[in-house]
Every structure is written in structure tokens, then in C-alpha cells.
Amino acid sequence: MKIRAIVASLLALMMAGSAHAQQKLQIGCTATGDCASAMIAIDEGIFKRLGLDAEMVLIGINSNIPAALLSNSIQIGGPTTSVFLQAADGGLDLVAVAGASIMNERTANLTSVFGRTGVTFKEPKDFVGKKVGAPGLGAFLHVLFVKWLVDKGVDPKGVNFVEVSFPTMNDILKSGAVDAVLTGEPFVTRMTNAGTGSVAFRYVAELNRNEPVILYAASRDWAEKNPEIIRKFREGIAEGAKIVNANREKASEAISKFTKQPIDIVKLNPPAYSEPTIKSQDFAWWVDVMKQQKLMQNDLDLTKLILK
């Protein structure tokens, strides 16, 4: 009996030690599937196996992610590449720790400018004088839409942009507060089915690029103090990305769980393509585009934006 008691005590201590060894990590992302590799790594127990007690945190507007990182409300976040670069240009000491999603031919049609029922958008110049909602000014969808307008010969200064979070787009469109929104799946399908409006242009597909959309970032100070967590995170993201790209069923379930979107709607479209690696040269095109839009003022050393 004594031996059994000793064994039981040892097992209890081992389990307690194991639980204590789990390192807490909060990962912030907006309500899109671009952070699916992190969602999968949580849902499939990958992070847990690696010793990370990770949870996803919903962020309403992408441009709020840098501030959340610096306040330690989250330790790793999924800013769009444009938001990340703008933050770095503004002096915020952030570093990219892994890649999340990239523009890809398979998923280029998932994003669009979606017009409200009753408002006609036949050509790019029809957006002049209209109010367009974007899930973060200076974020991916906004910057690329401005790029598309310029390429089409339209002055974006004539468009009134406002920030609208993904989950509220349907209601705000219905209210008439905006004439169109820059959005992606599964929100496009859901709003179409609700009769709120229709796709005006699939402008990201027209741009035909393959640069990063979302990346995983952290404050440099936190990242350098927690190399073991970063190592485990990267390992988990690499494993999660393989599942996202190969198993649409599991990816859809993870996205639905995090975004609170109906699984049947999420399954209608493939998830964003996950690319776990991020390189300094991936930023070059983005920097050119953002400087054209006067969203960046300085010449950044792009090699220093990637955590080694």
C-alpha cells in the first residue's frame, strides 16, 4: 500500500510539473482564416504537445494589433504586412516571427470589394464620392484597393474610407452607413445569401501577386526574452500550415470555431494558403506600394524586421 501511495504521489508530481511546464501564449488575429495555421495548432493539440498553452484572441480591427502587442495584451499577433510595416516605420519595435498567409492564385478570388444592394458599381470610377468600409485603414485590403484604384486611373482621395470590422459589415451595409466594404470569405458568401449586396470587383485577383498577407509578429523585447516559446511557436505553425493546405475539412472547422461563422458557409471556399516562412525580401513590393501611398516615410532595414 505504501508503494502504491508513493507511486501515486510521484505521478501527481509529474503531472503537476508537466502542467507547470506549459508556457502561456495569447495569439491575436482578426476574424479571418489567415491565421488558420495557429488555429489548427491549437485545435489539433500541436502547441500543447510542444509545451505551449496557447489561445486565440479575437481582434476587431487589424490596425489595433501592434498596440496590443506592445501592451502585452497578446504576445504574438497576426497583422497584415502593411500594418506591420507601417508600425515599424512609425518607430514601433516589432519583429516578424513566422509567416501566416500569402496572396495565392487559389485564394485570390476570396477577397473583393462588396457593394450594397441599390448602389451601382460598374467601373472603378464609380467609387468616387462613395463611402467604403475597410477592416483597418492601412491594412492589407485597404492598401491593395487603393493600389487597384490608382492602377485603374482613379484618384483614391475621392473615396471616403472608414474602418469597419468584419463581423459588423453586413449590418453596417444594410443600414446604409457605407456603400461598399472591402472584405473576404466567408463574409462575402454570407452577405450575398442575405441579399445585402453583391461582389463589385475581385480586385486582389486582378493585382495577381504572391506576397504575404498576414504574418505573425511580436515585440522585439518579448521575442528576444522568450526564444524557447518562439522556437515552439514556429514549429507548431509549420506543422499547422501543412494541415491547413492539405486538409480543407479541418481548416474549415478551425476557422469556423474562431470566427463564429457557420461551418457550411466556411466550407464553401478554400482557406487562405498558409506559408510559415517569412523573408525580408517578401516586404520589398509592399514597401514600394506603401511609399507610393505615402504610408511610409523612412528607409527601413528589412533584414532587421525578421527575428533570426
User: Tell me, what's the pLDDT at 140?
Assistant: 85
293's grid cell? 501611398
Q: How many CA atoms lie within 13 A of 207 on its CB side?
A: 28
Q: Which of 266, 112, 264 is nearest to 186 (CA)?
A: 266
Angle at 166 between CA 58 and CA 61, to 5 degrees: 55
- Eight-class DSSP state of 165: -
Residues of the chain with pLDDT under 70: 1-21
pLDDT digits (tens, 9 = 90+) for 153-211: 999 999 999 999 999 999 999 999 999 999 988 899 999 999 999 999 999 999 999 99
CATH code for the domain defined by 22-103+211-305: 3.40.190.10
**Are the C-beta atoms of residues 57 and 296 closer than 8 Å to each other?**
no
Angle at 50 between CA 216 and CA 259, to 5 degrees: 45
* Residue 175: count of CB within 10 angstroms of its CB: 10
Q: How many CA atoms lie within 13 A of 259 on its CB side?
A: 30
Q: Which of 47, 37, 88 is nearest to 65 (CA)?
A: 88
Q: Sign of dihedral through CA atoms 270, 272, 275, 279?
A: positive
Give CA–CA dist 159/151, Å, rounded. Answer: 15
Parallel/antiparallel/unpaired status of strands 94-102 and 52-58: unpaired
User: Tell me, what's the pLDDT at 116?
Assistant: 97
Q: Domain extents for the chain?
A: 22-103+211-305, 108-207
User: Tell me, what's the pLDDT at 139?
Assistant: 83
pTM for the whole structure: 0.81
The CATH architecture annotation of domain 108-207 reads: 3-Layer(aba) Sandwich (3.40)
Domains 22-103+211-305 and 108-207 agree in fold: yes
Q: Using alpha carbons, list the distances in angstroms from residue 132 to 164, 166, 180, 304.
A: 9, 13, 5, 35
**Are the C-beta atoms of residues 121 and 47 closer than 8 Å to each other?**
no
